[in-house]
Amino acid sequence: MHKLIPHIFLTLVLGYLANSRLEFIKTILIKGFIALYKPNLNEAIHSDIRKYRSYNEFFTRKLKDGSRVVDDSDKAFISPVDGEIVDHGFIEEGQLIQAKKFKYALEDLVGDSYKSLYDEGYFITIYLAPTDYHRIHCPFDGTIIDSQHLGTSLFSVNKKAQESIPNLYIKNERSVLQIDSDGLNFSLVSVGASVVGSIVPFWSVDDNASRSQLINEWKRGPSDKKQIKKGDELAHFKMGSTIILLFEDSSKLDLDSLIENKLVKFGNKLVSLKNI
């Protein structure tokens, strides 16, 4: 059934409406979303929906100052997003797990050049529901050394899709940031989805950039500000999707705080480095 839906065409049409600044279109979409999902606007930079110029601007709203506390302890990796941990585990023989029953190849997810980096690694998959805050932040201090864009499809990544479509994450469009850190090197994979259509990197300066322009931005990478701090914004989704964190060496991680199906918030400790 998923294959019969023209996901990219649907994404383009809905994306046009979501970017519309016509008052009645914007208002209908925002009020409909609020009625359906009941997001917490008290933590948003603007609680008055009239201050958002479009539905997309509302959906990708920033947090107001003080609404989150970032764990600044020197060994803590924070959650880069709001969402739910749907999978996590050791990367064994170059394979990751999707929805507890499908295996997919690390090489297909991030490309051949990364394969050897994560032979003894660990992965954490976090699903962002539509009601979640949709900006993506850096989980740990580091340096961006590579940026990629892969994939072509835009299937839904909701739980039903995760449980029914094998290799879902390697079919969909996705961006990959490789980050070197003094503590532990890691990669952050942002997976696009049906109706998302755009993953916007922090270095993009054109608010009206097309999907093809954003893809080129990801392939080019940041021209400056490659040094990033824990909590810095890295990108944002234009609709709900999924983040996959990859850690190089699982033996360095204290995983006691990691619980599957646990709801997480940006800024909270996700995992931490062991005291070695």
SS (H, E, C) 40-72: CHHHECCCCHHHCCCHHHHHCCCECCCCCCCCC
Statement: residue 15 has pLDDT above 90: no
Residues in the chain: 276
Report the range of poorest mean pLDDT among 87-101, 115-129, 149-163, 190-204.
149-163
**Residue 251: active-site member:** no
How confident is the model over 152-173, as a mean pLDDT?
A: 64
Please report which confidence band the pLDDT of residue 161 belongs to, taking 50, 70 and 90 as the band edges: low
pLDDT tens digits for range 217-251 = 989 999 877 899 999 999 988 766 889 999 998 89
Task: Round the average pLDDT of the chain to a whole number and report it.
Answer: 81
How confident is the model over 184-194, as a mean pLDDT?
A: 85
How confident is the model over 7-17, as a mean pLDDT?
A: 54
pLDDT score for 162: 57
**Residue 82: active-site member:** yes
Please report which confidence band the pLDDT of residue 2 belongs to, taking 50, 70 and 90 as the band edges: very low
Statement: residue 78 has pLDDT above 70: yes
Q: How many CB atoms lie within 10 A of CB 23?
A: 10
**Residue 241: active-site member:** yes
How confident is the model over 65-85, as a mean pLDDT?
A: 91
One-letter amino acid for residue 242 of the chain: T
pLDDT score for 100: 63
Report the range of poorest mean pLDDT among 13-27, 46-60, 65-79, 148-162.
148-162
Given 147, 181, 187, 241, which residue is catalytic?
241
How confident is the model over 59-86, as a mean pLDDT?
A: 90
d(CA 44, CA 37): 15
Given 7, 82, 87, 175, which residue is catalytic?
82
Given 134, 137, 149, 236, which residue is catalytic?
137
Beta-strand relationship, 253-254 and 83-90: unpaired
Please report which confidence band the pLDDT of residue 159 belongs to, taking 50, 70 and 90 as the band edges: low
The pTM assigned to this predicted structure is 0.85
pLDDT score for 76: 92
**Between 192 and 110, residue with greater pLDDT:** 110
Statement: residue 256 has pLDDT above 50: yes
**Between 103 and 274, residue with greater pLDDT:** 274
How confident is the model over 169-198, as a mean pLDDT?
A: 80
d(CA 181, CA 169): 25
